[in-house]
């Protein structure tokens, strides 16, 4: 399939570049910026994008692409660091700006170019850079300028290289998607062959070939990824070979376990093992309030329960199907080399079961080329209901990290009730789908209130609601005041144990999305 290769120099936007170009229908792959590039790597590649980076090109150790990138004859688009890199590599110069260019900036186009096909004389871009091109390299000409004459777009006609100082992948960049389409389809002539229907057919065929008539084991968390992976597996393989296991940790949301079971049965699953491990998890957590310690205990309990229950199933050589996403691979550095950022590695429990299956070559990851949005599209294509497909993310340790301090059954119940009211209010107000992730947190304090004529102490619930594209950064969701007041009243009316509701107005960074 025609592919645009993205070389990742560590920008927080690299994943977004991959996703946005795929929105034009052209398939993308990401490799570390300095990965070796040869004829094999370039087999289906029609063009190359060099990403942004936290590095400055003039720093010692600043990463550079394999020389083949510049000699293979394919069109290259440098984004931010990417064009600075090309400038430096071809003899131009890059300097630090006195003042960073950040946010929306108008770009004046001073020459006609296929990269801006269909554009007028200017558009609003989105910038985030502290370095700038001082002198373009030989053969490069400036075709767009931002305020103060700073080069914003360049080209080298002979070599078929382009560069932009702004970020076309960020949604605030007006018509950024058109720039990416003009590059991928207009300039590189890549065919837009990336469709989910095709992916489903190929993924099913790959799975049948790999697994054959062997048994398969899947650990279901109830989240979108594992549910979609289960739906795909059940549609690809004989159902009697598919063994699904769901561990109810007691740290799930209200009615979650019942809904997960219902969904799995509606997919035609025959072998679903529901493990009720609430008592075991809560007993291990008793008396513990330190967040990292809680996470460790929950992780260990998962591993223990998994090992025990999988042994009970008695299918030692079963393939393990996992809902790993492309982002997980890139982030954990497994898929694309050690330089990829390891920001969320602490989220992924290193399970001996997974390690053992991997060592035996028994891990199948049918979603490992997909981004989260694409998994949702796939889920819809496989007939999963919107309530499953559009559900907000939920962390592995569940309510264990949302009941702050010591976790008890009573506190989990209170939090479950408050969270359910919050979410149903968001749905009835038409806000749920506008928010990337929303949930309640139970604070480890009680505050005074009045009920009738008596003073009483109630728990405090904090509301979290964030806008984000991948959870790496997040903005506070800007509620209307009347919605906040309505939600607060609904929670205190319907959950008597809650005496006070507060709204968390911290973005990430500096805060994280979860409180623990
Ligand atoms: P933070 O709190 O790090 O969360 O800003 C970013 C996103 O990751 C989710 N999260 C987790 N997911 N296991 C998971 O599977 C975890 O341990 C975990 N911790 C946080 C969080 O809900 C948010 O979507």
From residue 223, give the alpha-carbon distance in Å to each of 161, 391, 396.
42, 8, 9
Rounded CA-CA distance 120/354 in Å is 53
Residue 335 in this model has a pLDDT that exceeds 60: no
Residue 232 lies in a domain: yes
From residue 94, give the alpha-carbon distance in Å to each of 105, 156, 373, 405.
20, 17, 36, 50
Q: Rounded mean pLDDT of 286-304?
A: 95
Residue 203: domain span: 196-389
Residue 310, Cβ neighbours under 10 Å: how many? 20
Same domain, 234 and 353: yes
> How many residues does this entry show for the chain?
516
Residue 399 lies in a domain: no
In the structure encoding, which two tokens stand for residue 196, read together?
């989910």
Same domain, 277 and 380: yes
Same domain, 160 and 65: yes
Ligand 1 touching residue 399 (CB < 6 A): no
Q: Going by CA atoms, what residue is nearest to atom 17 of ligand 1?
A: 347
Ligand 1 touching residue 512 (CB < 6 A): yes
Rounded CA-CA distance 84/348 in Å is 35
Q: Final residue of a domain: which of 187, 213, 229?
A: 187
Residue 62 in this model has a pLDDT that exceeds 90: yes
Residue 509 lies in a domain: no
Residue 396 lies in a domain: no
Share above pLDDT 90 across residues of the chain, in percent, rounded to a whole number: 84
Rounded CA-CA distance 259/516 in Å is 26
Please give the distance, rounded to the nearest whole angstrom, from the Cα atom of residue 378 to the centre of ligand 1.
23
- By most ligand atoms within 8 Å of CB, the mutation choice from 247, 344, 438, 507 for ligand 1 is 344
Per the residue annotation, which of 101, 129, 167, 425 is the catalytic one? 167
Residue 508 in this model has a pLDDT that exceeds 50: yes
Residue 486: its H or E element: helix 481-494
Task: Mark whether 167 is an active-site residue.
Answer: yes
Q: Final residue of a domain: which of 187, 219, 249?
A: 187
Residue 499 in this model has a pLDDT that exceeds 50: yes
Confidence band, pLDDT 50/70/90 cuts, at residue 336 = very low
Q: In this structure, are residues 422 and 491 in contact, taking their beta carbons and an 8 Å threshold?
A: yes
Same domain, 59 and 178: yes
> Across the chain, which distance is largest between two alpha carbons, in Å?
83
Same domain, 369 and 439: no
Q: Which residue has the tokens 């001996």?
A: 352
Structure confidence by residue, pLDDT tens digits, 192-213: 999 999 999 999 999 999 999 9
Task: Mark whether 80 is an active-site residue.
Answer: yes
Higher pLDDT residue, 139 or 456?
139
Q: In this structure, are residues 176 and 167 in contact, taking their beta carbons and an 8 Å threshold?
A: yes
Same domain, 230 and 316: yes
Same domain, 132 and 232: no
Structure confidence by residue, pLDDT tens digits, 356-376: 999 999 999 999 989 888 999
**Pairing relationship of beta strands 27-32 and 498-503 according to DSSP bridges:** unpaired
Per the residue annotation, which of 23, 99, 138, 169 is the catalytic one? 169
Ligand 1 touching residue 192 (CB < 6 A): no
Residue 217: its H or E element: strand 216-220
Q: Final residue of a domain: which of 169, 187, 205?
A: 187
pLDDT for position 349: 55
Confidence band, pLDDT 50/70/90 cuts, at residue 98 = confident
Ligand 1 touching residue 466 (CB < 6 A): no
**Pairing relationship of beta strands 150-156 and 161-164 according to DSSP bridges:** antiparallel
CATH number reported for the structural domain that contains residue 306 in this entry: 3.40.50.620
In the structure encoding, which two tokens stand for residue 34, read together?
């300095």
Same domain, 263 and 385: yes
Please give the distance, rounded to the nearest whole angstrom, from the Cα atom of residue 114 to the centre of ligand 1.
41
Instruction: Tell me how many domains the chain contains.
Output: 3
In the structure encoding, which two tokens stand for residue 293, read together?
């310690």
Q: Rounded mean pLDDT of 225-249?
A: 97
Rounded CA-CA distance 147/151 in Å is 9
Same domain, 415 and 377: no
Residue 511 lies in a domain: no
Ligand 1 touching residue 296 (CB < 6 A): no
CA-closest candidate to residue 222, choices 197, 185, 247: 247
pLDDT for position 344: 38
Please give the distance, rounded to the nearest whole angstrom, from the Cα atom of residue 397 to the centre of ligand 1.
9
Residue 483 in this model has a pLDDT that exceeds 70: yes
pLDDT for position 99: 87
Same domain, 238 and 296: yes
Q: What's the whole-number average pLDDT of the chain?
A: 93
CATH number reported for the structural domain that contains residue 445 in this entry: 3.30.300.10
Rounded CA-CA distance 483/491 in Å is 12
Which atom of ligand 1 lies closest to the CA of 514?
2
Confidence band, pLDDT 50/70/90 cuts, at residue 342 = very low
pLDDT for position 348: 55
* Sequence-ordered alpha helix ranges (H) in 237-369: 256-266, 278-285, 291-313, 326-332, 352-359
Please give the distance, rounded to the nearest whole angstrom, from the Cα atom of residue 145 to the centre of ligand 1.
40
From residue 232, give the alpha-carbon distance in Å to each of 173, 269, 377.
35, 12, 12
Ligand 1 touching residue 504 (CB < 6 A): no
Please give the distance, rounded to the nearest whole angstrom, from the Cα atom of residue 467 to the centre of ligand 1.
14
Q: Rounded mean pLDDT of 387-411?
A: 96
In the structure encoding, which two tokens stand for residue 57, read together?
């090109």
């Amino acid at each position: 399939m025609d592919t645009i290769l993205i070389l990742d120099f560590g920008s927080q936007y690299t994943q977004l570049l991959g996703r946005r170009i795929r929105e034009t229908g052209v398939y993308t792959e990401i490799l570390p910026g300095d990965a070796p590039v040869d004829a094999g790597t370039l087999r289906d590649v029609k063009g190359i994008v060099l990403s942004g980076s936290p590095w400055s090109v003039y720093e010692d150790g600043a990463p550079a692409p394999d020389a083949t990138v510049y000699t293979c004859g394919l069109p290259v688009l440098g984004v931010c660091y990417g064009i600075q890199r090309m400038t430096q590599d071809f003899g131009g110069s890059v300097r630090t700006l006195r003042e960073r260019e950040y946010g929306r900036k108008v770009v004046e186009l001073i020459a006609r170019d296929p990269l801006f096909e269909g554009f007028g004389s200017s558009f609003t871009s989105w910038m985030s850079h502290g370095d700038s091109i001082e002198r373009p390299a030989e053969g490069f000409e400036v075709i767009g300028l931002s305020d103060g004459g700073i080069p914003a777009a360049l080209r080298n006609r002979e070599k078929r290289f382009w560069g932009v100082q702004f970020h076309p992948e960020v949604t605030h960049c007006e018509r950024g998607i058109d720039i990416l389409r003009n590059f991928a389809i207009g300039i590189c002539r890549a065919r837009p062959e990336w469709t989910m229907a095709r992916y489903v057919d190929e993924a099913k065929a790959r799975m049948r070939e790999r697994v054959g008539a062997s048994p398969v084991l899947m650990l279901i968390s109830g989240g979108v990824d594992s549910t979609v992976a289960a739906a795909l597996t059940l549609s690809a393989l004989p159902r009697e070979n598919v063994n699904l296991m769901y561990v109810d940790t007691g740290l799930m949301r209200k009615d979650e376990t019942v809904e997960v079971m219902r969904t799995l049965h509606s997919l035609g699953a025959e072998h679903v093992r529901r493990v009720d491990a609430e008592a075991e998890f809560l007993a291990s957590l008793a008396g513990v309030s330190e967040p990292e310690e809680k996470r460790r205990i929950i992780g260990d309990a998962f591993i223990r329960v998994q090992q025990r229950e999988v042994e009970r199933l008695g299918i030692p050589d079963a393939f393990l199907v996992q809902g790993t996403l492309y982002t997980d691979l890139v982030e954990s550095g497994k898929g694309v080399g050690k330089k990829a950022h390891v920001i969320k590695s602490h989220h992924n429990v290193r399970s001996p079961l997974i390690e053992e299956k991997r060592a035996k070559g028994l891990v199948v990851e049918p979603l490992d080329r997909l981004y989260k949005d694409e998994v949702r599209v796939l889920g819809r294509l496989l007939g999963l209901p919107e309530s499953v497909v559009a559900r907000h993310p939920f962390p592995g340790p569940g309510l264990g990290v949302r009941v702050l301090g010591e976790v008890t059954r009573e506190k989990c119940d209170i939090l479950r009730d408050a969270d359910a009211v919050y979410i149903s209010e968001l749905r009835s107000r038409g806000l749920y789908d506008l928010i990337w992730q929303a949930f309640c947190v139970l604070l480890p304090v009680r505050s005074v209130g009045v009920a009738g004529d008596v003073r009483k102490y109630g728990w405090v619930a904090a509301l979290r609601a964030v806008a984000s594209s991948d959870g790496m950064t997040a903005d506070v969701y800007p509620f209307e005041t009347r919605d906040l007041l309505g939600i607060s009243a609904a929670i205190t009316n319907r959950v008597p144990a809650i005496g006070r509701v507060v709204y968390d107005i911290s973005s990430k960074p500096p805060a994280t999305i979860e409180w623990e």
